Chain A
Amino acid sequence: MNYFFQALADAFSLIVSLDSEVYIIVWTSLKISLVAVFAASLVGIPLGLYTALREFPGKSFVLQMLNTLMALPTVVVGLVLYGVFTRQGPLGGLGMLYTAEVIIVGQCILIIPIIWNLSITAAKAADPRLADTCKALGANTLQQGWIFVGEVRYALMAAMIIGFGRAIGEVGVAMMLGGNIEGFTRTMTTAIALQTSKGEFEFGLALGVLLMTVAFVVNAILQWFQSLNQ
């Protein structure tokens, strides 16, 4: 039991001491994952609504692909994007490897299928008369989409929260593409992996507790935004 007590004590002192190194790690994680989830939503939500509301050839294949991509291992995204962004790769000239930006790209790819998929579910759960009303009133695709965003916003927000959870908790992309550089691309999960590799299991677990605390706070804030609308 000593192990767990030590980890909890470490976690507590990490949170109250506001150690600048830990503070930077938490901010790096938050910044990357929040930008990633908003960017992924800008792509995933419109695609999701379009897929839900329109018929097009190959739709069932798209749905099947989306379900498959939900299982995408993070380290595979990391490996593929490493091949793209390494100096030898097609986008190597950008010099983006080992920056926060490239982690954002990776996390976007990871969570776009999730948000896309959950947006389909969200739109399908709307009152079936809504689409007909839109049609009767002569709304074009864009207008209809915007009406649906307003109508199913809670479900869309839930999709974003799930996407955020996947982004902030993943380690493969951040490690492969970010390189775990101290003060620059070290996120909470790569810091945990580092402490584990150093054999500092208690400190790693303490960082895990901290990560859950941060995720809890972010979700509380998002829920507060939701409740404002009710």
Chain B
Amino acid sequence: MKIKIHYLLLLICMLPGAGHAQDRLRLATTTSTENTGLLAVLHPPFEKKYAVKVDVIAVGTGKALRLGRNGDVDLVLVHAPAAEKKFVAQGFGVERLPVMHNDFVLLGPGSDPAKIRDAGSLTAAMTALAITGTGFVSRGDDSGTHKMEMSLWQAASIRPEGDWYLAVGQGMGAVLKIANDKLAYTITDRGTYLAFKDKIELELVYEGAEQLANPYHIILVNPEKHPHVKSKLAQHYADFVRSEQGQMIIRGYKVAGEQLFYPDVIY
């Protein structure tokens, strides 16, 4: 019995290690950048150039900023301008660096019972959603998309409450599936919509308003607050993503033939 337990322990020790030798950079980002697959093509050239591994922690923007504030990550790549500005103003981040943008769109069932397609303005569209009460699925997770949605309700002076309003507290992909199953409306970033277009029956019912812009920024965690952060490496990352090479990768990234993100640094 004793000897056999030794064998078992030996077996466990032989399991492959996680590999600590390589330098690691910790990036907290949003589910929308990770779920669309952009980071999987953006990171390898950077990782090769600097012999580093980027650890991606994909969470909602609210949690990503919280991790930055606690010094648990080296930098963040997020999309909630108001919360970002506050993060920098409070001294947790160094500077907001523009990276790329796309926009938010409203999705809904093809029959469009709330007649959002005919809405003259974004405010009219949001009002129609609340009045008809045909069902709206919200992220409800303090993510960038959720913050955007809340700002739209606020702009229309609506308090989203009631049976028609479902705050599910899940990622963008799961929310699209839920809205699809419930034949409800929802709001999503265009990147995730394009990535999901073939998997859902929901249709694009509203787009193009100025308020629906969705800019992504990189913010380095302030080394004065958290001396342990790898600010030099983080700066290399920001420089790479904003370099011609990085911006070309972003421009060239397509899903089902459609461009998902538009670079913000002009070359």
A residues near B (Cβ < 8 Å) are 27-28, 30-31, 34-35, 38, 86-88, 92, 95, 97-100, 150, 153, 179-185, 194, 196-201, 225, 228-229
In the complex, chain B residues whose CB is within 8 Å of the CB of A98: 26, 55, 57, 72
Any chain A CB within 8 A of the CB of B159?
no
Task: Tell me the complex Cα distance, A150–B4, Å.
Answer: 13
Q: Choose among B15, B24, B174 the residue that contacts A197 (Cβ–Cβ < 8 A).
A: B174
Q: A228 touching B199 by the CB < 8 A rule?
A: no
Question: When the two chains form their complex, are residues A199 and B18 in contact, meaning their CB atoms are under 8 A apart?
Answer: no
Q: Is B123 an interface residue (CB 8 A)?
A: no
Known: A150-B1, A179-B57. A198 touches B171 (CB 8 A): yes
CB-CB nearest in chain A for B40: A182
**Chain A residues with CB under 8 A of B199:** 199
Which residues from chain B sit less than 8 Å from chain A, CB to CB?
1, 4, 8-9, 12, 15-16, 18, 24, 26, 31, 35, 53, 55-58, 70-72, 170-174, 176-177, 196, 199, 226, 228
A sample of 29 cross-chain residue pairs with beta-carbon separation below 8 angstroms, ordered by A number, consists of: A28-B18, A31-B16, A34-B12, A34-B15, A38-B8, A38-B12, A86-B70, A86-B71, A87-B70, A87-B72, A87-B226, A88-B71, A92-B71, A97-B72, A98-B26, A98-B55, A100-B18, A153-B1, A181-B55, A184-B18, A184-B53, A185-B18, A196-B174, A197-B173, A198-B35, A199-B177, A199-B196, A225-B4, A229-B1
Q: B residues within 8 A CB of A30?
A: 15
Contact B9 A38 (CB under 8 A): yes
Contacts of A225 in B (CB 8 A): 4, 8
> For the complex, what is the distance from the CA of A179 to the CA of B63, rounded to whole Å?
12
Given the complex, which residues of A lie within 8 Å of B15, measured CB to CB? 27, 30-31, 34
**In the bound complex, do residue B171 and residue A197 qualify as a contact, i.e. CB atoms below 8 Å apart?**
yes
The 9 closest A-B pairs by CB, nearest first: A197-B171, A199-B173, A87-B71, A198-B173, A179-B57, A31-B15, A181-B55, A199-B177, A86-B70
A153 to B8, CA, bound (A): 15
Q: Is the CB of B56 within 8 A of A182?
A: yes
Contact A86 B1 (CB under 8 A): no
Chain A, Cβ-Cβ closest to B20 = A99
* Whole-angstrom CA separation of A4 from B172 in the bound complex: 23
Interface centre among B18, B35, B176, B199, by most chain A C-beta atoms within 10 angstroms, is B18
Chain B residues with CB under 8 A of A229 = 1, 4
Complex Cα distance, B56 from A180, in Å, reads 8
Residues of chain B lying within 8 A (CB to CB) of residue A196: 174
Q: Give the complex CA separation of A99 and B55 in angstroms.
A: 11
A179 contacts across to B, CB distance below 8 A: 55, 57
Interchain CA distance A9-B227 in the complex, whole Å: 49
Shortest CB-to-CB span from A62 to chain B, Å, is 27
Complex CA–CA separation, A87 to B74 (angstroms): 12
Known: A87-B70, A98-B57, A179-B55. A228 touches B174 (CB 8 A): no
Tell me the bound Cα distance from A27 to B12 in angstroms: 11
Chain B residues positioned under 8 Å from A92 (CB to CB): 71
Bound together, the chains give a CA A87 to CA B26 distance in angstroms of 13
Q: Which of A86, A88, A197 contacts B35 (CB 8 A)?
A: A197
Please measure, in the bound complex, the distance between the C-alpha atom of A31 and the C-alpha atom of B16, giving whole angstroms: 8
Q: A31-B12, A200-B173 are in contact. List 7 more A-B contacts (CB 8 A).
A: A27-B16, A86-B72, A92-B71, A100-B18, A150-B1, A197-B174, A199-B174
Q: Known interface pairs A181-B57, A199-B199, A225-B8. Does A87 touch B173 (Cβ–Cβ under 8 Å)? A: no
B55/A184 in contact, CB under 8 A: yes
A27 to B16, CA, bound (A): 8
A194 vs B170: C-alpha distance when bound (angstroms): 11
Q: Are A87 and B228 in contact (CB under 8 A)?
A: yes
| Chain B residues whose CB sits within 8 angstroms of the CB of A95 once the complex forms | 228
**What distance in Å separates the Cβ of B196 from its nearest Cβ neighbour in chain A?**
6
- Which residues from chain B contact A86 at a C-beta distance below 8 Å? 70-72
A100 to B24, CA, bound (A): 14
CB nearest neighbor in B for A229: B1
Q: In the complex, which residues of chain A have a beta carbon less than 8 angstroms from the beta carbon of B177?
A: 199, 201
Contact of B56 with A181 in the complex, beta carbons under 8 Å: yes
- A4 CB to closest chain B CB (Å) equals 16
A55 to chain B, nearest CB (A): 29
CA gap between A136 and B228 in the complex, in Å: 60
